[in-house]
């Protein structure tokens, strides 16, 4: 399975942790986000991953930003996408 992952500047560390975990489980990861902590607009990452899912470039997508709300809203503007926020309390 090929998974697209997108993030803004606030989620670089988390994206890398999730990517490494999934690679260890045998998934192919396509990075659509930033690898820098310099300011990066979450709408670009959200839209890019959503379009990759709709165009069957990846099987599914994971989006990560500071709150998880903005990036999901950007993804949901792409026809055919239904993105929802999942939170986990530690």
Residue partners of 29: CB distance under 8 A and separation at least 6: 2, 3, 4, 5, 19, 22, 23
Q: Are 57 and 14 in contact (CB under 8 A)?
A: no
Q: Are 11 and 34 in contact (CB under 8 A)?
A: no
Q: Known catalytic residue: 65?
A: yes
Q: Are 47 and 77 in contact (CB under 8 A)?
A: yes
In the set 60, 65, 83, 90, the catalytic residue is: 65
The set of catalytic residues is 65
């Amino acid at each position: 399975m090929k998974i697209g992952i997108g993030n803004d500047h606030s989620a670089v560390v988390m994206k890398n942790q999730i990517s490494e975990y999934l690679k260890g489980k045998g998934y192919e990861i396509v990075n659509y986000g930033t690898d820098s902590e310099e300011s990066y607009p979450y709408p670009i990452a959200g839209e890019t991953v959503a379009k990759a899912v709709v165009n069957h470039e990846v099987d599914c997508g994971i989006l990560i930003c500071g709150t998880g709300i903005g990036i999901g809203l950007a993804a949901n503007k792409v026809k055919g996408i239904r993105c929802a926020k999942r939170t986990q309390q530690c």
